[in-house]
Amino acid sequence: MTPNPLKRVLMLGNEAIARGALEGGISYATGYPGNPSSEILETLFKWSDAHDVAVEWSVNEIVALEAAAAFAFSGRRAVVTMKQNGLNVAADFLTTVSLDELPGGLLVVVCDDPGPLTSSNEQDSRHFARIAQIPLLEPSTPQEAKDMAVYGLEISQRFGLPCMLRAVSRLSHGRGPVSLGPVASKGPQPRFDRDRPKVGLPFLVTRNHARLLRLREEIRAEFEASPWNGYTGPEGVSTLVVASGLSATYGLEAIQTLDLGDRVGLLKLGTTWPLPRERILERVGRADTVCFLEEVDPFVEEGVKVVCAENGDRAGRIRFLGKNDGFVAGPDGPGVGEMNTDTALSALGRLFDPAPVQGEPLPEDLLARARDLLVPRELSFCQGCPHRASFYALKTALELDGRDGFLVGDIGCYGMAAGTTGFQQIKALHCMGSGMGNACGFSRLKEFGFDQPVVAVAGDSTFFHAGLPALANAVHHNADAVFVILDNAVTAMTGFQVNPATPAAVSHGKRELRIENAARGLGAEAVVLDPVADVNAAVEAVLQAVETGGVHVLVFRHGCATFFQKRADRSARPRVWVDAETCLGDQCGCNRFCSRILSCPAILFDPETGVARIDEQVCTGCGLCVQVCPREAILLERSEDGNP
Amino acid sequence: MGIKGSRELVQNVLQAGMCIGCGACVELCPYFRHYKGRTLQVFPCDLESGRCFAFCPKIEVDLDALSRRLRGCAYEGLDLGVYRSIRAARAGAALPKASFQGGGTVSALMAFALGSGVTDAAVLTDREGAWPLPRIVTDAQDVLACASSKFTAAPTLQALNRAVRLGHQRLGMVGTPCQVTAAAQMKGGLASQEDFRDPVALTVGLFCNWALDPRALNAFLGERVDLDRVTGMDIPPPPAEVLVVRLGEESREISLQEVRPLIPETCRLCPDLTSEWADLSVGMFEGRPGWNTLIVRTDRGGDLVRAAEEAGYLELEPMPEENTAHLAEAGRTKKERAFRTALRENAVNRENGCSVLRLPAEVVDRLT
């Protein structure tokens, strides 16, 4: 549903960014899924038909950025979305396209995941704005997120360079009221001017770099007057909080909670690169204590210190309190984890002696009741998840092989295989495709006496995202490498987005690429197996691959259970149940193998009957437990129409 | 000490290098597996006690309890164990000729037992190149394919456990002393199994001084011959001192000096030369090629031998006394060496923790 313009609606931060991009007149939106950024594109997909916006999940972030840039080259506006890890992938293009002169607009939205809920690092993306010398906007509310998206597209086109909008997970996933604006027109017929300025040639770089630095100062001048930056508090106080983005709201809450409104001022910065030098000096120069609140790194903190150092006569003598000196610190230390109101309260509370009163803590019985509401739940693959069978097979094969083999992985649901649900098999887990690249090096390590088998696992989406270059490298260097590609047909972890391995029926006609064909095209041996259907065949295939040299690609193909079960007719599921006569329970000697080892949410041990039980409401009928029960006490019955 | 679980088994046998890979713990449960000469626990199990521990011939083997249960008397450390008679034997005319190690006595016994219905399946050890391959044989014709020694430790009891699960109730098995010891411990079942019925109707044990580690042997041979072409192995009687590897029509001789390092450490603690807990034990007849030494230990073993002889499956002759004496000396030498090693390594009658062996202290004193 398209939000009615000129209304006030409750929106997720990410929906607000999507709305802002729409109001800003984009023709194109690209991205690669990744928490906390995914909802921006998901939202734009819903609006794409009504507003004539082309939207796509690209194969990776740099392709997404390069594709979006083509619109900006041709006079149109585009937005590209990603999480912080993704910006690293896109950075190569970002740091060169900023030297260009874009006739259109290009908004780069990056959503950071501090204190990561779903990331392999907690990188602060803002540094890239400085590296690329592009304007950086940090919204503090969904309303600002929407408005800054509109503004970001506008200054991008006006100055001819990309603009970066940085959100954090609590902003992306928090809701707030947003007043909508009109949707701008998309601009003239797109056209690429063949006489437009050249970039990228080495002898032009210094000229373009100098131009970029001049633009930075023009943008700084604009930011000096920007309404995104503002002071709250009384005049004449000597204690100043400088906060950016969402941290400004934590600062305001802390000031209110501690009743410090008449003793502390807050300078909120929404444009954090280039920093508005005069606005900062105006406020900092009147203070003798400056405390910084921001997420994650001391980015503004260090920028403000540079401004003050360069203008010592105006700044005067200041006590800076932030992350570098350890004053502003969460439970895990300064510069680590999320910023929140508690951390802000802790910092501001220590500014004064005696410490200001924080008000009544929450009653303990209330906290206890809240804790009771939490259901203890193991981090686990979903019921029917094909990764359970895959890692069961991989662990079994590596144990049988007996040479201390191990898995190196990358980013996907299967990353949980570093924990109990995947039998603790993944031993290295870094970024998209990283295991496949690691495997190339482990192969060369054999020249130095290394003799452990290594299996690299990747997903269907990470294979196309970053695995292909590693595979080419392995084949090119005659490596001994085993790549297991866990092809579940969708980018499941981030919300079942389509990718090149997704069947055309699901992706609405996009062309499906087969991983095995790509592998064979690059000269690797490739076989396709379904460990859910035959787990022992998968064990055999892995054993054979680790025992023989060369590059082996094993495609473990079985659709994501949660995604496909949602779409499937429930009555078509195979029925799985325990024959209570055959199951011996604790008399078996299997030590509850099905419920204890497989850790499937659908398999229970029933203490009343003393035998295993399948929760048929939850079970997807995958049949892995049927294959591993030593008594063959778990039975499976396919529905009459033969559900695959 | 009593029967413990897989944690103690893994710690004291698998991780301690004591496992001979007999297969007794495999296919009882989903946890233990055997792959290419190595037994392992794939997934962790925390049961307090289990059949894996109870059956293992390398941990808490209570020789006195075995002797009292199977032989009706205390364990005295006799050179050749308790037996009824020793005979010279070879396959009779009723058994087709095959590539036997000695006189074909084992093949004849197993083929006759299957054919006559004494057993409903035989658990034997075939080979696949240089790897031992346990097999469940239900046709007397297929017994011959498994003839001749493999010279390696083999997970034969994995096939025994599988055969039990498949419902066989009168199994015959051929095994080395360690395997026969495990099978003997299986006869007790577990206290928790009230309806336990021994599914093994016949055990034929082999004479064995040591076996080779199959992983080590494959690695060793792989550097010397094409492993896929290995069709058999032989160790001719002294003074030859060679391992003969047959490659179809060709053969390769390898000095035993080179092969001995492939004997697993665990064999040094084995006190049993002649498979003392079997119904029948069979080995070489030194100095008389084409014949075997046959030890009859139980009534059912004796009954089978008589019937096999009558049916023309077996030829029997008396065993010369000097041969018996020579065999007994070899049996005593192995016991003494094993008990001395066990004492030195604190592996016998330990008060705390797991022993490999338990037996009356006076027997240990007498033999060491």
Q: Do A396 and B42 touch (CB under 8 A)?
A: yes
> What pLDDT was estimated at residue A154?
98
CATH topology of domain A8-224: Rossmann fold (3.40.50)
The SS3 assignment for A460 reads: helix
Torsion of CA A248, A253, A254, A258, to 10 degrees: 150
Task: Report the DSSP beta bridge partners of residue A486.
Answer: A459, A556
Q: Which residues of chain A are within 8 Å of residue B43 when distances are taken between CB atoms? A: 395, 423, 593, 597
A205 to chain B, any CB pair closer than 8 A? The answer is no
Q: Which residues of chain B are within 8 Å of residue A593 when distances are taken between CB atoms? A: 29-31, 43
User: Which of A591, A597, A629 lies nearest to residue B47, judging by beta carbons?
Assistant: A591
Instruction: Spell out where A516-625 has E strands.
Output: 525-529, 551-557, 575-578, 603-606, 611-614
Beta strands at A426-429 and A406-409: parallel, antiparallel or unpaired: parallel
A391 to chain B, any CB pair closer than 8 A? The answer is no
Better pLDDT: B95 or A400: A400
How confident is residue B105, by pLDDT bands cut at 50, 70 and 90? very high
Beta strands at A239-244 and A289-293: parallel, antiparallel or unpaired: parallel
User: Which of A587, A590, A629 lies nearest to residue B192, judging by beta carbons?
Assistant: A587
Task: Report the DSSP beta bridge partners of residue B314.
Answer: B91
Identify the residue among B19, B41, B45 best suited for mutation to test binding to A, counting A beta carbons within 10 A and taking the highest.
B45
Among candidate residues B45, B44, B48, B20, the one with its CA nearest the CA of residue B34: B20
User: Which of A395, A401, A628 lies nearest to residue B30, judging by beta carbons?
Assistant: A628
B192 to chain A, any CB pair closer than 8 A? The answer is yes
Chain B contacts in chain A segment 591-630 (CB below 8 A)? 591, 593, 597, 628-630
> What pLDDT was estimated at residue B189?
58
> What pLDDT was estimated at residue B170?
95
The SS3 assignment for B73 reads: coil
> What pLDDT was estimated at residue B192?
52
> Using only C-alpha atoms, what is the Rg of chain B?
19
Q: Which residues in chain A come in under a pLDDT of 70?
A: 1-5, 640-644
How buried is residue A190: exposed, middle or buried, by Cβ count under 10 Å (0-12/13-18/19+)?
middle
> What pLDDT was estimated at residue A531?
97
For CATH 3.40.50.970, the residue range(s) in chain A are: 8-224, 386-566
User: Which of B40, B43, B192 lies nearest to residue A597, judging by beta carbons?
Assistant: B43
- Written as six digits, the tokens of A495 are 């919300």
B25 to chain A: closest CA residue: A589
> What pLDDT was estimated at residue B149?
84
Enter the DSSP assignment of B13: I
B26 to chain A: closest CA residue: A630
Q: Do B40 and A400 touch (CB under 8 A)?
A: yes
C-alpha A603/C-alpha A160 separation (Å) is 58
Among candidate residues B347, B337, B326, the one with its CA nearest the CA of residue B367: B337
> Measured between CA atoms, how close is A453 to chain B, in angstroms?
16
CATH number of A230-349: 3.40.50.920
The SS3 assignment for B132 reads: strand
> What pLDDT was estimated at residue B141?
87
> Measured between CA atoms, how close is A539 to chain B, in angstroms?
12
Sign of CA dihedral A442, A448, A450, A453: positive
A590 to chain B, any CB pair closer than 8 A? The answer is yes
- Written as six digits, the tokens of A277 are 């030098």
Among candidate residues A138, A187, A135, the one with its CA nearest the CA of residue A160: A135
Phi, psi of A162 (to 5 degrees): -65, 150
How buried is residue A402: exposed, middle or buried, by Cβ count under 10 Å (0-12/13-18/19+)?
middle
A400 to chain B: closest CA residue: B35
DSSP A74-135: TT-EEEEEEEHHHHHHHHHHHHHHTTS--SSEEEEEEEE-SS-SS-S----THHHHHHHT--
> Measured between CA atoms, how close is B360 to chain A, in angstroms?
32
Distances (CA, A) of A301 to A168, A292, A339, A554: 18, 6, 14, 49
Q: How far is CA B201 from the centre of its chain?
A: 16
Lowest mean pLDDT: which of A128-137, B109-118, B193-202, B218-227? B193-202
Q: How far is CA A176 from the centre of its chain?
A: 22
Are residues A96 and A205 in contact, defined by beta-carbon separation less than 8 angstroms? no
Among candidate residues B214, B211, B90, the one with its CA nearest the CA of residue B147: B90
* Residue B100, C-beta contacts closer than 8 angstroms, at least 6 positions apart: B91, B107, B147, B148
Are residues A574 and A619 in contact, defined by beta-carbon separation less than 8 angstroms? no
For CATH 3.40.50.920, the residue range(s) in chain A are: 230-349
* Residue B96, C-beta contacts closer than 8 angstroms, at least 6 positions apart: B144
CA angle B56, B61, B67 (to 5 degrees): 120
Are residues B302 and B96 in contact, defined by beta-carbon separation less than 8 angstroms? no
Q: Which residues of chain B are within 8 Å of residue A587 when distances are taken between CB atoms? A: 192
> Measured between CA atoms, how close is A339 to chain B, in angstroms?
41
User: Which of A400, A597, A628 lies nearest to residue B33, judging by beta carbons?
Assistant: A400
Among candidate residues A138, A147, A148, the one with its CA nearest the CA of residue A170: A138
> Measured between CA atoms, how close is B33 to chain A, in angstroms?
7
How buried is residue A290: exposed, middle or buried, by Cβ count under 10 Å (0-12/13-18/19+)?
buried
Q: Which residues of chain B are within 8 Å of residue A396 when distances are taken between CB atoms? A: 33, 42
Identity (one letter) of the amino acid at A593?
F
Among candidate residues A552, A541, A574, the one with its CA nearest the CA of residue A641: A574
DSSP A493-524: TTT-B--TTS-TTTTTSPPP--HHHHHHHTT-
Lowest mean pLDDT: which of B140-154, B265-279, B337-351? B140-154
Q: Taking chain B, what is the end-to-end CA distance rounded to the nearest angstrom?
A: 24
The SS3 assignment for B212 reads: strand
Domains of chain B: 6-213+263-367 (no CATH), 215-262 (3.10.450)
Per cent of chain B over pLDDT 90 is 80
DSSP B239-295: T--EEEEEETTEEEEEEHHHHGGGS-GGGGG---SS-TTSSEEEEE-TT-TT-EEEE
CATH topology of domain A386-566: Rossmann fold (3.40.50)
CATH topology of domain A569-637: Alpha-Beta Plaits (3.30.70)
**Which residue carries 């095959």 as its tokens?**
B98
A547 to chain B: closest CA residue: B36
How buried is residue A97: exposed, middle or buried, by Cβ count under 10 Å (0-12/13-18/19+)?
buried
A4 to chain B, any CB pair closer than 8 A? The answer is no
pLDDT tens digits for range B185-202: 998 655 555 666 789 999
The SS3 assignment for B144 reads: helix
Q: Which residues of chain B are within 8 Å of residue A423 when distances are taken between CB atoms? A: 43
> Measured between CA atoms, how close is A577 to chain B, in angstroms?
19
Max Cα-Cα span within chain A: 88
> What pLDDT was estimated at residue A1?
47
In B198-218, which positions are buried (b, 16+ CB within 10 angstroms) versus exposed (e)? ebbbbbbbbbbebbbbbbbbb
- Written as six digits, the tokens of A41 are 């594109």
Are residues B248 and B229 in contact, defined by beta-carbon separation less than 8 angstroms? yes
Distances (CA, A) of B265 to B17, B212, B217, B268: 7, 10, 14, 6
> What pLDDT was estimated at residue B96?
83
Mean pLDDT (chain A, rounded): 95
Task: Report the DSSP beta bridge partners of residue A78.
Answer: A28, A106
A359: alpha, beta or left? (left if phi > 0; alpha if psi -120 to 50): left
Identify the residue among A392, A394, A399 best suited for mutation to test binding to B, counting B beta carbons within 10 A and taking the highest.
A399
